[in-house]
Amino acid sequence: MAEDADVIVVGGGLAGLVAATEIADAGKRVIVVDQEGEQSLGGQAFWSFGGLFLVDSPEQRRLGIKDSYDLALQDWMGSAGFDRDEDLWPRRCAEAYVAFAAGEKRGWLRAMGHRIFPVVGWAERGGYDAMSHGNSVPRFHVTWGTGPGIVEPFERRAREAQRAGRLTFKFRHRVDALVTTHGTVDGVSGVVLEPDKIERGRSSSRRVIGDFTLRAQAVVVASGGIGGNHDLVRQNWPKRLGSAPANMISGVPEHVDGRMIGITEAAGARLINRDRMWHYVEGIRNWAPIWPRHGIRILPGPSSMWFDATRRRLPSPLFPGSDTLGQLQYIMSTGHDYSWFVLTQSIIKKEFALSGSEQNPDLTGKSWMMTAKRATNKGAPAPVEAFKAHGVDFIVRDNLADLVGSMNALVDNDLLKTEDIKAQIEARDREIENAYAKDTQVLNIHNARRYIGDRLIRTAKPHRILDPAHGPLIAVKLNILTRKTLGGFETDLDSRVFGQDGKIMPGLYAAGEAAGFGGGGMHGYRSLEGTFLGGCLFSGRNAGRAAAKAVS
């Protein structure tokens, strides 16, 4: 049968765009198929904060951070906790990815016009020992322009290839099956969905108006994860975390539906580590939702006090920003699926960032003037103040009794007692007067402030939570927010997919979240953050280059 292209890429998210542009730039013909309309090009990456894990970058060095491949690999392995036979390729991909992040990654992006905000963030700080989870040093490099800024170079390359006739987009084409001929994956088939001009990120029509089959010599599956499909999240929920939360909100649009994972598995691909996922515990319900159950993740600084639903402070080292999986495990062990931050206006102003391009108009719009206000403004950034005013999970009060009463009212129970919360806050407040302390969260705050980036824009000056001069008091109900799929299709370093018989499936490649960002789960159990977009760049580039080489 005649081929429609040399390679078909399923998915026009970041991983698909990277793979497709590499294929086209190698002189091959490529078709990018996506179930969404043209307005959604870039997938989740468009909505992202654009945070990238880089190692020993000029930005780090300028801030006095001493980083290295060895330190980053130590952190990665301590976080991943690889412990399964099927971790062979994930581990190999992790080693290669850390080398990419310490080597070519920044220069490759920079040559395409990508730029980085100069203050490096410190995500997932851990708090255990040197060989355990967490970033020993700040490594979260925010793209100047956030999500759209990381999509832009690849969309530009794709449009150039489109104009040159080497790349074709097929929007509103939903793949329902992979086509295999004599053991080689050589096409896709599915349905054409009716055109829909709905705004990016909103759920689009699923009305079918036709069907299609496309043939090529190879297929790259870059269809994303399962975070928008709560049924699949529940089905894959790991037993080690108890039962799945009764209530979850969505950190991704509905098109992150996981359908293509089942379709690719049905064609014989080996899906591994499906029980490894990366969901956040600091989710807030969006007061202006775009997609169903739309939630936003707070990227917290270290100072908010964190209470579980039963009024206990989360144990050390589960402070804001330390260990996402540890926090999820702890919260699920309480028998409730929410927890609380209690903080002050001084803390929210400096420490709350919201993950997502639309929540950061200063960085997304590349406005130095607006961004500088993060350090100088009296209030929090406007999107945070808007959540404070309109968000259903935010409570703002002048005194603790009113605050606690409203917290109980919000969740319709009386689990929190004012006297009890007051005693815990006062005890913590007594620790704040000295530059040293025994309370480990307070120690952690002092440690954070030794890093200039945190002192400038991420960690409030230590103060008493009950000091009215820093008020009003704020409580935030934190929900569990679905986001990333850490497992995926087992691949080698060329993103070639292994079949269920353990052999490479000729013609089939997988990249991005569908491939567990490389190998079938290069993060293992935990991420150091900024590693998902990077995993799409890495596995997408490998898939594109290898597929282009393999086709005649």
Select 288 or 409, whichever has its Cβ closest to ligand FAD: 288
SS (H, E, C) 435-466: CCCCCHHHHHHHHHHCCHHHHHHCCCCCCCCC
The yes or no reply on residue 460 touching ligand FAD (CB under 6 A) is no
**268 near 499, Cβ under 8 Å?**
yes
Minimum CB–partner distance for residue 459 and ligand FAD (Å): 20
Select 248 or 260, whichever has its Cβ closest to ligand FAD: 260
| Rounded Cα gap, residues 516 and 524, in angstroms | 9
Sole binder of ligand FAD in the list 51, 78, 320, 321 (CB under 6 A): 51
Which range in 19-27, 98-106, 251-259, 346-354 contacts ligand FAD by CB under 6 A?
251-259
Sole binder of ligand FAD in the list 5, 16, 218, 226 (CB under 6 A): 16
Minimum CB–partner distance for residue 53 and ligand FAD (Å): 7
Sole binder of ligand FAD in the list 126, 512, 518, 521 (CB under 6 A): 512
Which range in 41-49, 54-62, 266-274, 412-420 contacts ligand FAD by CB under 6 A?
41-49
Select 5 or 15, whichever has its Cβ closest to ligand FAD: 15
Select 366 or 463, whichever has its Cβ closest to ligand FAD: 366
| Rounded Cα gap, residues 66 and 60, in angstroms | 7
Give the length of the chain.
552
Which range in 124-132, 219-227, 343-351, 501-509 contacts ligand FAD by CB under 6 A?
219-227
Select 124 or 513, whichever has its Cβ closest to ligand FAD: 513
Sole binder of ligand FAD in the list 23, 45, 281, 421 (CB under 6 A): 45
Select 437 or 528, whichever has its Cβ closest to ligand FAD: 528
Beta-carbon-side half-sphere exposure of residue 475 (alpha carbons within 13 Å): 27
Minimum CB–partner distance for residue 15 and ligand FAD (Å): 3
CA angle 298, 315, 396 (to 5 degrees): 40
| Rounded Cα gap, residues 432 and 474, in angstroms | 19
**171 near 197, Cβ under 8 Å?**
no
**512 near 535, Cβ under 8 Å?**
yes
**41 near 148, Cβ under 8 Å?**
no
| Rounded Cα gap, residues 350 and 329, in angstroms | 28
Minimum CB–partner distance for residue 278 and ligand FAD (Å): 9
Minimum CB–partner distance for residue 521 and ligand FAD (Å): 13
Sole binder of ligand FAD in the list 5, 6, 8, 13 (CB under 6 A): 13
The pairing of strands 277-285 and 496-498 is: unpaired
Site for ligand FAD in 74-113 (CB under 6 A): none
Spell out, one character per residue from 175 to 194, where the chain touches ligand FAD: x when CB under 6 A holds, - when not: x-------------------
Number of Cβ atoms within 10 Å of the Cβ of 113:
11
CA angle 456, 457, 458 (to 5 degrees): 115
Site for ligand FAD in 514-543 (CB under 6 A): 530-534, 536
DSSP labels, 129-195: -TTSSS-SS--EEEBTTHHHHHHHHHHHHHHHHHHTTSEEEEETEEEEEEEEETTEEEEEEEEEEPP
Which range in 31-39, 76-84, 332-340, 392-400 contacts ligand FAD by CB under 6 A?
31-39
SS (H, E, C) 210-239: EEEEEECCEEEECCCCCCCCHHHHHHHCCH
Which range in 22-30, 220-228, 305-313, 541-549 contacts ligand FAD by CB under 6 A?
220-228
Q: Which helix (H) or strand (E) holds 272?
A: strand 271-272
Spell out, one character per residue from 122 to 161, where the chain touches ligand FAD: x when CB under 6 A holds, - when not: ----------------------------------------
| Rounded Cα gap, residues 165 and 160, in angstroms | 9
Residues in touch with ligand FAD (CB under 6 A): 10-16, 33-36, 40, 43-45, 47-51, 174-175, 222-224, 251-252, 255-256, 259-260, 355-356, 484, 512-513, 530-534, 536
